[in-house]
Amino acid sequence: MSTELNNNEMEIFEIISHSGNARSLAFEALSEAEEFNFEKADELVKQVQEELNLAHKTQTKLIQAELNGVPSEKTLLMIHAQDHLMTALSEQKLIEHMIRIIKKLSPQQ
């Protein structure tokens, strides 16, 4: 590995960590919604968005650095981080939709 290439391991682990946190919180929100605990589910959904915002902020930092001429080494770890983020974003949208459906079917309506 060239020393001129930017070593982005900390940023990569931040993306993985925040994305993983988001996924866990999203599934926790879904579980709360299944129990009709919508206030808690909504609170968790907000936390999901906060975690994804942090992951996306780090991703944007890496992209901007590359656009400014500071290349990043493309590693399996970097690809893994991107996969985590994209999966978390996809699951977030799906789980939010599922929660809306559960709310509509709730006997508390």
**Which of the pair, 8 or 55, is modelled with greater confidence?**
55
* Residue 4 resides in a domain: no
CATH assignment at residue 43: 1.20.58.80
Cα separation, 82 vs 100, whole angstroms: 27
Q: Given a cut of 90, is residue 96 above it in pLDDT?
A: yes
Query: For residues 22 and 56, is the Cβ–Cβ distance under 8 A?
Result: no
Q: Given a cut of 80, is residue 24 above it in pLDDT?
A: yes
Q: Please tell me whether 42 is known to bind a ligand.
A: no
Which listed residue (18, 56, 80, 84) is catalytic?
A: 80
72 by DSSP, 3-state: which? Answer: strand
* Residue 3 resides in a domain: no
* Domain total of the chain: 1
Which pTM does this prediction carry? 0.88
- Structural domain boundaries, residue 36: 9-105
Q: For residue 6, which phi and psi values (nearest 5 degrees)?
A: -70, 125
* Residue 45 resides in a domain: yes
- Of how many residues is the chain composed? 109
Q: Determine the pLDDT at residue 2.
A: 47
Q: Determine the pLDDT at residue 48.
A: 98
Does the annotation mark 80 as catalytic? Answer: yes
Print the SS3 string covering 58-75. Answer: HHHHHHHHHHCCCCECCC
- Each residue of 26-52: pLDDT tens digit? 999 999 999 999 999 999 999 999 999
